[in-house]
Structure 1
């Protein structure tokens, strides 16, 4: 894991809480993949230090005095253009709304903070934050990952009228909200298929994501257990619930459960893709967008074996080329496309033009 000029990625921590700031700083210092660039107590200091230190990564608190994270974000990105920013947000409705706005303004990802007073025992926050820092830093250098990606080619197959798309499925994680917004805005308003999305997100955040997607495209909502999926509607797996599908074309239904996490995630993409393969098979169009890990790969394998179509986002436009990279490198993608091409390509598939 390297940053610029072959060194370890350097992290700037911006948080008004001395306790949180100290904890995150110690976590970074204890991780031999990262270096601590510095710490700041508010957004104004963060902007100044970002310009002076040119960090590779910034952990930016949302709520701070003097200058909050949302105000500081664009200024930090201007001061340190190559930095990747992770927003640290509490799991509240307000925190989720601000985080979604931050993602639309250029933040690379977010990490849900535990409630005040519980930070000292926040092992889950530590693990998630460090994983995301390392994943985001990994795309900034060159090396084996880029060489492998350059050699990956799509594995297209011919499709016939019997492969008419009846169900659009999308899986995403790190960088997903921004990518989903772009894809959703390109979907035809007369779409005749249900659209089902699994985005790795906690409770509250998925409801806010649905609201944001509704503003740029088709109506969207969190899926409800047992509901029949309507054509031209976007359904998002609620945080902390797996979403699977049952039924048949014209009568697909959503089903939620809180069974064990899959690929360390709940919701996970694989259960949704796998269930769709069983009921729609060759009539599925599955899209894997930016995200770390390999969630979605095995579900995609089942959809491909059943005759469905697969699109993976390319590395150059992915915030993290983990999930789509796993699909592409396994030879499961019919098309490997930049983000700007994915929405229009989906639209052509949905209209039977491909």
Structure 2
């Protein structure tokens, strides 16, 4: 009688990560968080967009954390090059979000960035914010290889419209619900940032 084989799952492969940020403190902080979380392997860090592109070409990481504000080639300019060199890399944008960066982040989502995480306004706030750390790690854990496809705004620029941007036009292959999900999430995120900015300008009640 042939004994039945028991399949034992092998160890989970750690996701490879490149961190691109012009602040050495932020790079170190992100790397430490990923190391403590487990299941991540930081293969390289970059302080500018040009180096980020080079690392994408060399390492083909599962995920890249990409700062929008960097000297020389910034995150927005580097994004299309990164995805061209490594199409399966998921790019998580990281930025202190003001009106300008919110607009740029929206544009980057249409070009293939998988999501955005809003940095606290100060370095101490970033270090001490458990909410920011939890959001940062959650978004990296949720990434699946190959999901870095363009988010396409809904019709009229509102969530829930046509995923392709015009009434009656279907979403490109592979987007569908994912595009609508990112659509709603990004608009909620932008709305929260606007509300926070208004409260900041008005001051305490």
Answer whether TM exceeds 0.5 for this pair: yes
How far is the alpha carbon of 1:122 from its aligned partner?
2.5
| Aligned partner (choices 124, 135, 139) of residue 131 of structure 2 | 124
How far is the alpha carbon of 1:87 from its aligned partner?
0.6
Structure 1 unmatched runs, 5+: 1-5, 142-173, 189-197, 209-237, 241-354
How far is the alpha carbon of 1:185 from its aligned partner?
2.3
Residue of structure 2 equivalent to 1:205: 190
- Farther off after superposition, 26-35 or 127-136: 26-35
Deviations 1:260-302 (A, max 9, x none): xxxxxxxxxxxxxxxxxxxxxxxxxxxxxxxxxxxxxxxxxxx
How far is the alpha carbon of 1:13 from its aligned partner?
0.4
Task: Check whether the contact 1:9–1:56 (CA below 8 A) recurs between aligned residues.
Answer: yes
Residue of structure 1 equivalent to 2:83: 77
* Whole-Å separation in 2 of the counterparts to 1:91 and 1:175: 22
| Aligned partner (choices 36, 46, 52) of residue 58 of structure 2 | 52
How far is the alpha carbon of 1:33 from its aligned partner?
2.1
| Aligned partner (choices 27, 30, 36) of residue 30 of structure 1 | 36
Residue of structure 2 equivalent to 1:90: 96
1:106 and 2:125 aligned: no
Structure 2 unmatched runs, 5+: 1-11, 156-161, 169-182, 197-205
* Whole-Å separation in 1 of the counterparts to 2:53 and 2:13: 23
* Whole-Å separation in 1 of the counterparts to 2:150 and 2:120: 22
Task: Check whether the contact 2:48–2:71 (CA below 8 A) recurs between aligned residues.
Answer: yes
How far is the alpha carbon of 1:186 from its aligned partner?
3.3
Q: How does 1:326-341 map to 2 (within 5 A)?
A: none
* C-alpha distance 200-53 of structure 1, shift in aligned 2 (>3 A): same
* C-alpha distance 180-8 of structure 1, shift in aligned 2 (>3 A): farther
SS in 1 for 2:165: helix
* C-alpha distance 13-179 of structure 1, shift in aligned 2 (>3 A): same
Residue of structure 2 equivalent to 1:183: 163
Residue of structure 1 equivalent to 2:13: 7
* Whole-Å separation in 2 of the counterparts to 1:46 and 1:176: 19
When you count strand as a share of all residues, which structure comes out higher?
1
SS in 2 for 1:45: helix
How far is the alpha carbon of 1:86 from its aligned partner?
0.6
Scaled by the length of structure 2, the TM-score of the pair is: 0.70
* Whole-Å separation in 1 of the counterparts to 2:13 and 2:63: 13
When you count helix as a share of all residues, which structure comes out higher?
2
How far is the alpha carbon of 1:31 from its aligned partner?
1.3
Scaled by the length of structure 1, the TM-score of the pair is: 0.42
Aligned length: 165
1:43 and 2:43 aligned: no
* C-alpha distance 200-81 of structure 1, shift in aligned 2 (>3 A): closer
